[in-house]
Structure 1
Amino acid sequence: MSLHDAEARRLYDQAAQLAGIGAWECELATEQLTWTGGVYDLFGLPRGSALHRPSIVDLYTNDSRAEMEQLRGTMIRSGKGFVLDARILTAGGTSRWMRLSADITHQQGRPWRIYGAKQDVTGEKQMWQGLRQLAYSDPLTGLANRRAFEAQLSELRRMPADGTALGALALIDLDMFKPINDHLGHAAGDECLRQVALRLEATLSDALTIARIGGDEFALLICSTAGWPHILHRLNQALAVLSRPVTWNGRSIEISASIGATMLLPGRHHDPDRSLAEADSALYVAKASGRNRLHLFGEPLQGHPGADAMHGALADIRALRAG
């Protein structure tokens, strides 16, 4: 090797180490692996140590392993390479993200070797995860925000058709929240919102999503195989804990909430906008009926103030739902 080649190799090795990247190769007939130092470092193995492919594959997490093996098989059959971000556990048990680039060479028309690069992209993944958290979480309460909730709701367009699970979309609005901000200040109001978030998370820990979607309005998606009585019981539990006073700066602040909910039925296609409108209608009924209560969309009103005035509106909404 000439002096120029040695210098170029030194520069390449420095750049590869800085980028957390290494090269790899696998002979298909024997499954013999060859790695450069960067790949050993990525997997937390001593450089130059013996490589046994099944043992290396075991260091992939289950989902990443299944996806990698599927892409590998497709590449061998089709001759087309791939790039995959895979999660691995190093030999020392550290979780890392690895960008795996792979391609294939042939000899006499048959697949012969696969090769490529492996790069540590853990820092990149953590950065994007942090940005995603900023974009999809409410900074005051730590709950999901409206954007995250609407994305989750869109994914739940259809409940399972086998009837094993029922769901509910519920909207929660604090009663008479504005006077708290007006009389005690926004610091007191913010503490009430934080306490509401903590209580919802503790009481409805099995909810698919709990979000703050506006000033003093929260939303949640909950599913259960135990049927509607169980879901309603859980929502009533939430109503009860939200009626407990909040302690702030040595004083007790009285709070309560109203909840409007709509059913998400098995096997039915759910329009997110319609489901939100139904839950919002039920919330309106709950607040107009005296607050600090739960109302289910489409259920008859029994003895609540203003019941007669509500029946016509509910009839219209039920007709829309059936259409």
Structure 2
Amino acid sequence: MKNIHLQETFRPAPSTNDIGKPDAALNLYDQAASIVPMGAFSCDLASERLSWTGGVLDIFGLSSEHTPERQATVEMYTEASREALSRKRSHAIASRSGFSLDASIIRPDGAERWIRINAAVRSVNGRATTLYGMKQDITEDRARWETLRAQAECDPLTGVANRLRFQRFLERPNDEPVLERIGALILFDLDGFKQINDRWGHAAGDACLVAFGDRLKTAFPQARLVSRIGGDEFAVLLPPLGAQGKAERAVRWITRSLLGPVKWNGERLPISASLGMAFASEHTEFNPQALFVTADRALYEAKKGRSTISDCA
């Protein structure tokens, strides 16, 4: 495969182990690259001119006949990955250091690929001049990892996310871009759940949990996350909803669809629930833990005052 502006930087220096062949190390690299989809890149920071080897061009689905333009290739990154790349790249250039990033791109043919970027900055007289490194296609590895993670983060009874998945949200750094797309957190607690278990048995209680999880997914299709975080407790993360008062009324109206008896073995099992809501502030830095504490306090007050969602029928 033809390389575009392949710089001498990427050629490993011949060593005494090269058995007398000056290009043996480079040939070894080419052979390895044919097994693992990867390639080298560099970017001149003054002109933003890119230099890519054929392996990187293949990953991005681009032809070797044209020199890639940085702005066009940046647009191939998905929004979240583009934000992360911009943040890490800027920091590396400013500190004349390096960074690693797993990022998602959409190729011209519409295929989504995951790549791993390992980059470093070359500087001259204290001024960053070049960003260079390696890019590797990790799409298959990522798919396997996501499958395993989904299994580990799924509640086996209800099919929604489990507490482990919700905990990952709580532990996100406050400045992570994805958190800007969180508008509200709703916590639900089923009322009288112990009585259902005591009267009809745990299988009946399980049926109620499964039904409630299904109803949450149906009622909030736009949810960023629906999770079972305790025995009879659920959490729903929503995107920004607009004006808080209007959003709260809309949410309370929607939650009526969560109620109604659950049919089980000829019985009609009653479901009622308390809820606590918390909205992300537009004026302060987003804090997942603070959002959870606020919603949990609201849930506690609702249960203490028996302010529940009830079936109007």
- TM-score bracket for the superposition, by shorter chain length: 0.5 to 0.7
Q: Which runs of 5+ in 2 are unaligned?
A: 1-17, 175-181
* Preserved CA contact (<8 Å) 1:60 1:89: yes
* Preserved CA contact (<8 Å) 2:196 2:205: no
Q: Shift of residue 256 of structure 1?
A: 1.7
Q: 2: CA distance between counterparts of 1:156 and 1:77? A: 21
* Preserved CA contact (<8 Å) 1:171 1:280: no
Counterpart of 1:231 in structure 2 is 248
Q: 1: CA distance between counterparts of 2:259 and 2:27? A: 65
- Which residue among 270, 282, 300 is the counterpart of 2:302? 282
Q: Deviations over 1:95-154 (max 9, x none)?
A: 112222233445688655443211112234334434443444322222232344455467
SS of the equivalent of 1:214 reads: coil
Q: Percent identity?
A: 31
SS of the equivalent of 1:99 reads: strand
Pair 1:135–1:115, CA change in 2 (3 A): same
1:300-311 matched pairs, under 5 angstroms: none
- Which residue among 250, 270, 273 is the counterpart of 1:255? 270
Q: 2: CA distance between counterparts of 1:121 and 1:230? A: 40
- Which residue among 132, 137, 142 is the counterpart of 2:159? 142
- Which residue among 212, 216, 226 is the counterpart of 1:200? 216
1:33-112 matched pairs, under 5 angstroms: 33-46=50-63, 48-54=64-70, 55-69=72-86, 71-72=88-89, 75=92, 78-105=95-122
Q: 1: CA distance between counterparts of 2:173 and 2:98? A: 34
* Preserved CA contact (<8 Å) 1:154 1:272: no
Q: 2: CA distance between counterparts of 1:126 and 1:154? A: 23
Pair 1:123–1:284, CA change in 2 (3 A): farther
Q: Deviations over 1:239-280 (max 9, x none)?
A: 45421333x57x453332232436669679947457525513
Q: 1: CA distance between counterparts of 2:309 and 2:124? A: 75
Q: Shift of residue 193 of structure 1?
A: 2.2
Q: Shift of residue 224 of structure 1?
A: 4.4
The amino acid of 1:36's aligned partner reads T
Count of residues in correspondence between the two structures: 280
Q: 2: CA distance between counterparts of 1:119 and 1:29? A: 25
Pair 1:279–1:116, CA change in 2 (3 A): same
Q: Which moved more, 1:89-98 or 1:61-70?
A: 61-70
Pair 1:51–1:128, CA change in 2 (3 A): same
Counterpart of 1:171 in structure 2 is 188
Q: Deviations over 1:194-215 (max 9, x none)?
A: 2211212222345564332233
Pair 1:28–1:140, CA change in 2 (3 A): same
Pair 1:147–1:41, CA change in 2 (3 A): same
Q: Deviations over 1:4-54 (max 9, x none)?
A: 4566544432322323221123445665543323112211224x3221324
1:14-33 matched pairs, under 5 angstroms: 14-27=31-44, 31-33=48-50
Pair 1:232–1:172, CA change in 2 (3 A): farther
SS of the equivalent of 1:193 reads: helix
Q: 1: CA distance between counterparts of 2:92 and 2:185? A: 44
Counterpart of 2:135 in structure 1 is 118
Q: 1: CA distance between counterparts of 2:262 and 2:208? A: 9
* Preserved CA contact (<8 Å) 1:75 1:104: yes
SS of the equivalent of 1:142 reads: coil
The amino acid of 1:257's aligned partner reads S
Q: Shift of residue 170 of structure 1?
A: 3.6
